[in-house]
Amino acid sequence: MTTYSFNRRRLFTMTAYGALGAALPPVARSALAETIDLPFANGERQIAPAGTFPEKAAMIIHRTRPPLLETPWSVLGQHVFTPNESFYVRWHLGDFPTHVDIASYRIRVYGAVDALYEISLKDLAADFDPIDLAAVNQCSGNSRGRVEPRVPGAQWADGAMGNAMWTGVPISQIIARAKPRANASHVAFRSMERLVSMFPDKDIYEKVLPLEKAMDGNVMAAYGMNGEQMPVLNGSPVRLVVPGWYATYWVKMLSEIEVTTHPGEKFWMAGAYKIPDRPNGSIRPGETGVNYVPISAMNPRSFFSNAGTGDRISSGADFVLRGLAFGGNSAVRSVDISLDEGRSWEPASLGKDWGDFSFRQWSFRLPAGRKGKLAVIARVTSALGERQPLQAGWNGGGFMYNPAPRIDIEFV
């Protein structure tokens, strides 16, 4: 198993990133011979071959400018730690820097504090105590393409997520040093990129956490990803990591940390990424009179990684079903398997525990000799007691999709 020791000296050996912009103009059609059929109507997408996007292997293209790139399930399902080169990519604003000057890069810490200051990358590595923490980064709209009735937005299959071992400095240390004032209640995180917009609220990517959440010791300014410098498309040189919460909060190319005295009022908090204030963010399609709140903690999910609907499997030998799960905002308590449409459940075996916020592998042995069709459902229960529903919930944003997955296979 790989160990992840991030060499902090590497931070200073890098002076600038490559000409990212060169990869972003429309990709030549001829380069995109390969396509993939995602598991929903109109799910055909092109695959960008390795190298089309900087530091990236072959990725499923949902959009090129700004990029929305999905990790193929054939890669994602096979790793506890998603390889950096295959990690999905999602940007909202087109105008993000193609070069970052490492020497002059600073994060400003200011607002309702007594000691505002700026952090260089050198300070970040030298003046604080870094941590390593495994955490799943998942887009709020992951699997949106599966939502019925269909909703607008990126039609992701299940590959708008990934797990990595993040290295960085807890925000609690950074904020403690700034000495927040007694009336401080929230922290706004902003990135380097700008959008030329008619709507001044929308021009900066700003996400806001309650101060208590920002100070939980897990939320961090990360510079390492799986023991390496993180790819520029995933937010180098520094991104926010908010273990247990949806990736919309994981601000990339972090440039400002403002301690404030109020919740987020700008577009990316007050306008977008809001869910019905209901259990699992779910309402009936078309339901009105619902209060909407900013999305926050993830719900639990499980996935099959070595079998899918339609597979024909030899009954001549035991077959070990394998998959991935995560608990959302807490650890995986159990993954349970049903072979009878959800009437009874048996626990799967869990793989190595990499921490509460990581993917966890699971496996379940089906003995040799079974013949014919079989429906298998996998359901995770989190340490907080949250359990995947058997039927998908729904909301107009296509957020928080998490029904227990089911596959229909046949033993021959």
Ligand X SMILES: Nc1nc2c(c(=O)[nH]1)N[C@H]1C(S)=C(S)[C@@H](COP(=O)(O)O)O[C@H]1N2
- Tell me which of Mo ion, ligand X, none is bound by residue 234, counting a contact when its beta carbon lies within the kind-specific cut-off of 5 to 8 angstroms: ligand X
Which range binds Mo ion by CB under 5 A, 57-65, 145-153, 241-249, 292-300?
241-249
Q: Is 147 in the site for Mo ion (CB under 5 A)?
A: no
- Tell me which of ligand X, Mo ion, none is bound by residue 11, counting a contact when its beta carbon lies within the kind-specific cut-off of 5 to 8 angstroms: none
Tell me the closest approach of the beta carbon of residue 247 to ligand X, in angstroms.
Answer: 4
Beta strands 59-63; 68-70: pairing state: antiparallel
Q: Are 205 and 268 in contact (CB under 8 A)?
A: yes
Q: Which is nearer to Mo ion, 226 or 248 (CB)?
A: 248
Query: Which residues between 69 and 128 bind ligand X (CB under 6 A)?
Result: 87-93
β-bridge mates for residue 169, sequence order: 221
- Tell me which of ligand X, Mo ion, none is bound by residue 205, counting a contact when its beta carbon lies within the kind-specific cut-off of 5 to 8 angstroms: ligand X
Q: Is 235 in the site for ligand X (CB under 6 A)?
A: yes
Site string for ligand X, 135-154 (x = CB under 6 A): --x-x---------------
User: Exactly one of 112, 133, 139, 380 binds Mo ion (CB under 5 A); which one?
Assistant: 139
How far is residue 135's CA from residue 61's CA, in Å, rounded to a whole number?
A: 24
Which range binds Mo ion by CB under 5 A, 81-89, 91-99, 151-159, 245-253?
245-253
- Tell me which of Mo ion, ligand X, none is bound by residue 242, counting a contact when its beta carbon lies within the kind-specific cut-off of 5 to 8 angstroms: none
Q: Which is nearer to Mo ion, 27 or 272 (CB)?
A: 272
Q: Which is nearer to ligand X, 272 or 375 (CB)?
A: 272
β-bridge mates for residue 47, sequence order: 60
Which range binds Mo ion by CB under 5 A, 133-141, 149-157, 182-190, 259-267?
133-141
Taking CB positions, which residue lies at the least distance from Mo ion?
139
Q: Which is nearer to ligand X, 248 or 260 (CB)?
A: 248
Q: Are 141 and 50 in contact (CB under 8 A)?
A: no
Q: Is the peptide bond prior to 170 cis by the omega test (within 30 degrees of 0)?
A: no
Q: Is 245 in the site for ligand X (CB under 6 A)?
A: no
- Count the residues of the shown chain that bind ligand X, applying the rule CB under 6 A: 20
Q: Is 60 in the site for ligand X (CB under 6 A)?
A: no
How far is residue 164's CA from residue 147's CA, in Å, rounded to a whole number?
A: 26
Q: Which is nearer to Mo ion, 63 or 99 (CB)?
A: 63
Q: Is 267 in the site for ligand X (CB under 6 A)?
A: no
Q: Is 205 in the site for ligand X (CB under 6 A)?
A: yes
Q: Are 73 and 39 in contact (CB under 8 A)?
A: no
Distances (CA, A) of 219 to 37, 132, 199, 263: 36, 11, 30, 18
Q: In this structure, what token pair is assigned to residue 243?
A: 């273990």
Q: Which is nearer to ligand X, 90 or 379 (CB)?
A: 90
Q: Which is nearer to Mo ion, 143 or 248 (CB)?
A: 248
Which range binds Mo ion by CB under 5 A, 144-152, 167-175, 185-193, 242-250?
242-250
Q: Interface residues with ligand X (CB under 6 A)?
A: 87-93, 137, 139, 191, 193, 205, 234-235, 247-248, 250-253
Q: Interface residues with Mo ion (CB under 5 A)?
A: 139, 248
